Chains A and B, each alone.
Chain A
Amino acid sequence: MTEVLKDRVFYENSGGGLTLSGGEPMLQFEFAYELLKQAKQNGIHTCIETCGFASAENILRIATVTDIFLYDWKLTNEKMHQEYTGVENTLILKNLQQLDAVGSNIVLRCPIIPSVNDTEEHFRGIANIANSLRNPLAIEIEPYHSLGENKYIKLGKLKGIQKFEQPTEKQIETWMNQIQNNTKVTVKKA
């Protein structure tokens, strides 16, 4: 916490705060919870980026010390979700609904990868989920980029990693419009 507080002046001038990001902070739940709790006690705004794949109990506990959830929604199609992420999306959806029920502020974070989830079905799914929430802050889409490739090269893991085409700005705009056409929730680029 001492480290976090060193940046207080920046939080105050930016209206920002502490964001726990990935990996997946919920995998280190106890530490994440304690850090966010202490941040709240010190008057610092808190935020967590999560894929939502965690126990309902932990999700609800973390909600008590979190101001904003940046909540991943990767794939609406259950089978594809299982195929690409290795887990089902049922629990993720349930946790999202629970967070919404207790009044958490939620930004839906949607990574869009050409040829994987840039489908009409998924875009409609994103809009439907956002529409089902009571008070979603926004839908943020995260277009695929290849910045991680260097990291994979450094880790010696590029082999076997599937490469995708980087979308153009025009393509991204089309995606955003496809989602926006079905929802009143603001769609923006993350």
Chain B
Amino acid sequence: MGNLSELKKLVFESDNNACFIERERILNRLEKEMADYNEPDKYAIILSKLLSEASTPIFDCDYFAGRVVEALPEENMAAPSELLCSVGHMSFDYEKLLKVGLKGILTEIKANAKEKGDFDSVSFAKNAEIVIMAIKNYVQRYANEARNRGLLEMAKALDHVPYEPAYDFFSALQSIWLIHMIASCYVGARDYAFGRFDEYMLPFYEKALKNGKTESELTEILAGFFMKTNEICGRGTHNYKCKPILSQASKQYINIGGENPNVFSSVVLEAAKLNHMAQPQITVLLKPDADEEFTANVFTALSVLTDKMHIYHYSQIVEALINQGIEKEIAKEFTYSACCTFDLNYHSFRLEYFTPVPQIFLSVFHHNEYSSLRELLADFKAALTEEIQNYVNRTQDGFCEEEARKQFVLDSLLLSDSTVECRYACDGKAKYNVLNIFCPGVATIGDSLMVLDKLVFKEMRYSYSEFAEIVKNNYQNHEELLEEIKGYTMFGNDTEIDRYTVLAGNAFLDAVDAVEHRENHYLAAGFYSLERENVWAAEIGATPNGRRKGEPFSENQSPTYGADKNSITALLKSLSKLPFERTVTGGLNLTFSQRISPEILQALVISYFQMGGFHIGISVIDRKTLEDAMVNPNKYKSLTVRLYGFSEYFISLPKWQQIAILNRTEYCV
């Protein structure tokens, strides 16, 4: 049996400058050795050589086999090597892995390739076989190591999985971990998600209970599994100096809940509390009328885990998907992976696009002299549609040119379309291609519309061109006006002013609806900025809402910084007016200055969802602590905050992101 606190200690003691040194040495050598080798099995051969040479260490504190040995990269070493790298950012079909093992997947691929008979399909199957056998041999070496150390349960599992189907709770998690680790650390990519974890792990959990394991034993094993996900990227988050690994800052999402939360869903929450680390992110898909016990468990966990979990309004999202033409059975299985982005579980290949909404708004605003908001909005919508249409046209024949050229990558073993079609499904031909189309800065646009309407169209204090000129000149010599605008009630206070942000939101969604796309492409729209509200700020000129050039615009679904001056309930009521019923992606983060009881959290979130709210993530942190952490980082190694769609170690963030978090409105309930 492993040791959770030892594993945790190792993560906190890990060196953020270290890389997976063996991988880098082997790949740097292979790159030279195989420079002239250009056969279709090059990728498979390289991966198989890498796996055959890698060591198989097991530590005394490990619950599961599978870890990478890190050290500082040698001078002039190309680290990380991109020889094998994938794009990541997807959910694997772990349910299938557990049911049929890699052996079953290979059988399926071979049968499909035989039926198809073309060169590419046969070549795909050949590559799959090379890689699967390499994984089998690599894991066998781990099995031997476990046996040498007297770890008989672990050795037995490693004799079977991931090649054979999983046969119990432990072997199921061991199987998933090995594939997850190989994809993240050996191939090298960020953000692999575990899909609907509570659904496919339930049978293994129930069987383990029947066989005499206790709930607390199984919870601890699961916590040990969760702890492993932190080894993928250590504390290296989104910091100044990226950890020299391709999986740096990997966000790993566990999705639970949905249509029928089960007994294991609550075990996941308990294990997450034991783990209590930034990874994995616990994503709860919650119906406002879900089972009472599960709902209570969710909010008890949220009050403890705070930024390490988040909640989506499940039933509303399913309805939006069905309304947009997705079959019910597929819609019900949706997941989130990587930075709060939407995915149709392992059925799809997905990408994301941050539409330059504030830039487009400003270009339209300055382009013409409009005589009404209606006219401006019509042009704004048309410009947005054109922008998004261009993006869709660019990506529909291959999401990523470099990726599309690859005939085979490890990832394709765990995507349903790839195994059926015998090809890596990133060429735009997968059954479901999900394009997350994000709208950053919705509140900034809404507030800008309000100010324009008030000063120009209603009160007529300025002509359109005068006001546009003032904005263009960054409010220079109009400081008084700027202060006046800053004093206006903006979006986020549950007033009739909110309708402007609703207008902005609907304009964006109408624009997305007007985009023409292929039937197998699904545009998943939502209000989300990730970090664009800061990263783009310097390039975006002043906006009519009193924002000067360079200042951040509104984050995700939130009001502009400091605009929400009423209460938390007023804020949630404002937010619920946004047309979330037309969105399936995006996020909202709330900051509370002190711990909130599960009961209050439940009342807030369930009320918000009943009003049409979409998503909630929270941080519980006070300004004083954050300020102290900026001065004395070593005292706050484990301090996490919610950033965009995930949890981050505060001290690993660059200063501008730390300041952005300080700028958020702190609520007290």
Contacts and interface: CB of A to CB of B under 8 A. Distances in A.
Interface of A: 6-7, 9-10, 12-16
Contacts of A6: 494, 569, 573
A14 B603 CA distance: 5
- 8 closest cross-chain pairs (CB), A and B: A14-B603, A13-B603, A9-B607, A13-B607, A10-B607, A13-B606, A7-B569, A10-B569
B611 A9 contact: yes
Given A10-B569, A13-B606, A14-B607, 9 more contacts: A6-B573, A7-B573, A9-B607, A9-B611, A10-B603, A13-B602, A14-B602, A14-B603, A14-B604
Interface string B580-613: 0000000000000000000110111011001100
B620 to A, nearest CB: 17
Chain B interface, DSSP helix/strand/loop, else mixed: helix
A15 B611 CA distance: 17
B555 to A, nearest CB: 24
B494 A10 contact: no
Contact of B600 (A7, A9, A12, A14): A14
Q: Considering residues A7, A12, A13, which has the most beta carbons from chain B within 10 angstroms of its beta carbon? A: A13
A13 B611 CA distance: 12
A14 B599 contact: yes
A96 B21 CA distance: 74
11 contacts: A6-B569, A6-B573, A7-B573, A9-B607, A9-B610, A10-B603, A10-B604, A12-B607, A13-B606, A13-B610, A14-B602
A15 B602 CA distance: 11
Contacts of A13: 602-603, 606-607, 610
B494 A16 contact: no
A10 B600 CA distance: 9
A7 B604 CA distance: 11
Contacts of B569: 6-7, 10
Nearest to B602: A13
A13 B299 CA distance: 13
A16 B603 contact: yes
Interface residues of B, number: 12
A6 B569 CA distance: 9
Contacts of B610: 9, 13
Interface of B: 494, 569, 573, 599-600, 602-604, 606-607, 610-611
A14 B610 CA distance: 13
A16 B606 CA distance: 14
A6 B496 CA distance: 13
A186 B669 CA distance: 23
B564 to A, nearest CB: 15
Nearest to A7: B569
Nearest to B597: A14
A114 B464 CA distance: 62
A13 B569 CA distance: 12
Contacts of B603: 10, 13-16
Contacts of A15: 603
A45 to B, nearest CB: 13
A91 B606 CA distance: 43
A131 B617 CA distance: 44
Nearest to B611: A9
A43 to B, nearest CB: 16
Q: Considering residues A6, A9, A15, which has the most beta carbons from chain B within 10 angstroms of its beta carbon? A: A9
Q: Considering residues B494, B606, B607, B610, which has the most beta carbons from chain A within 10 angstroms of its beta carbon? A: B607
A13 B573 CA distance: 14
A126 to B, nearest CB: 25
B652 to A, nearest CB: 30
B664 to A, nearest CB: 18
Contacts of A7: 569, 573
A9 B611 CA distance: 8
A6 B606 CA distance: 15
Contacts of B606: 13
Contacts of A12: 607
A15 B490 CA distance: 30
B563 to A, nearest CB: 19
Nearest to B668: A147
B405 to A, nearest CB: 53
A6 B574 CA distance: 11
Contacts of B611: 9
A7 B567 CA distance: 11
B190 to A, nearest CB: 38
Contacts of A14: 599-600, 602-604, 607
A16 B494 CA distance: 20
A14 to B, nearest CB: 3
A10 B599 CA distance: 11
Contacts of B602: 13-14
Nearest to A14: B603
A26 B606 CA distance: 34
B62 to A, nearest CB: 37
A107 to B, nearest CB: 17
B633 to A, nearest CB: 26
B302 to A, nearest CB: 15
B172 to A, nearest CB: 37
Q: Considering residues B494, B573, B599, B603, which has the most beta carbons from chain A within 10 angstroms of its beta carbon? A: B603
Contacts of A9: 607, 610-611
Nearest to A10: B607
A41 B607 CA distance: 22
A148 to B, nearest CB: 14
A124 to B, nearest CB: 31
A105 B201 CA distance: 49
A123 B600 CA distance: 31
Contacts of B604: 10, 14
A10 B611 CA distance: 10
A12 B604 CA distance: 10
A15 B600 CA distance: 10
A188 to B, nearest CB: 13
Contacts of B599: 14
Contacts of B573: 6-7
B603 to A, nearest CB: 3
Nearest to A9: B607
Nearest to B605: A13
A7 B602 CA distance: 15
A114 to B, nearest CB: 21
A14 B572 CA distance: 15
A17 to B, nearest CB: 12
B622 to A, nearest CB: 11
A176 B416 CA distance: 61
Nearest to B568: A10
A14 B494 CA distance: 20
A110 B569 CA distance: 28
A6 B611 CA distance: 11
A13 B604 CA distance: 8
A7 B569 CA distance: 7
A12 B494 CA distance: 19
Nearest to A16: B603
Nearest to B572: A10
A13 B609 CA distance: 11
A16 B569 CA distance: 13
A13 B607 CA distance: 6
B595 to A, nearest CB: 13
A7 B603 CA distance: 11
Nearest to A12: B607
